[in-house]
Amino acid sequence: MVRNMTQHRQQSERRLYEEVSRLWNRHVTVAAITEGDERSDTLTRLILKSIALNGPVRSSDAARDTGLSRAAISRRITALEANGFVSADTDPADRRASLLTLTDEGQRHLDELSLSGAATIREVTNDFSDEDLERFAELLGRFNTNAAERLTATVRSQHA
């Protein structure tokens, strides 16, 4: 019986891996299609959301919060400023540094991206019952929390 449970768990883990891979592959495909479009690509959403949640922030803090390199953040911030989504003002605590703030236009754009994402989720889960949707969100949240903890531990051990 234990062996059968172990085989069943291994099959379930394999199936989960395959499903997460399918989701990730779809995400990578969409990211590749929108790459370089400073208005809607994945990095834009990631950076705008980080600044909205933590701002005003230095670009180095945004890099840390998003996991992106300082060079990648710097290039993208230039484009976000040009689009009017972000402003960079002198840090009063250190006049050599700048603080990034989401502009009203940046907040509107982030809201539009969020609404678009919510509409997509609504379409994809249209045939889920309310209970299925709630349970799926709960389990996915737990999965993401465990993944974040595991990845953080992995990064720390590699940099120790």
Residue the block writes with tokens 């809201």: 111
Alpha helices by DSSP H, the chain: 2-34, 42-54, 59-66, 70-82, 104-124, 130-158
Whether residue 43 contacts residue 72, with contact meaning beta carbons closer than 8 Å, is answered with: yes
pLDDT score at 155? 66
**Distance from C-alpha of 83 to C-alpha of 89, rounded to nearest angstrom:** 16
What interhelical angle do 42-54 and 70-82 show, nearest 10? 90
Whether residue 94 contacts residue 111, with contact meaning beta carbons closer than 8 Å, is answered with: no
Helix (H) or strand (E) holding 88: strand 86-91
pLDDT tens-digit map of 98-113: 999 999 999 999 998 8
70 CA to centre of own chain: 17
pLDDT score at 2? 58
pLDDT score at 114? 86
List the pLDDT tens digit at each of the 160 positions of the chain: 556 778 999 999 999 999 998 888 887 777 666 666 666 677 888 899 999 999 899 998 998 888 888 888 888 899 899 999 999 998 888 888 899 999 999 999 999 888 888 888 999 999 999 999 999 999 999 998 998 888 777 767 776 6
Whether residue 86 contacts residue 77, with contact meaning beta carbons closer than 8 Å, is answered with: yes
- Reported for 24-30, long-range contacts at CB under 8 A and 24+ positions apart, including other chains, are none
Whether residue 102 contacts residue 44, with contact meaning beta carbons closer than 8 Å, is answered with: no
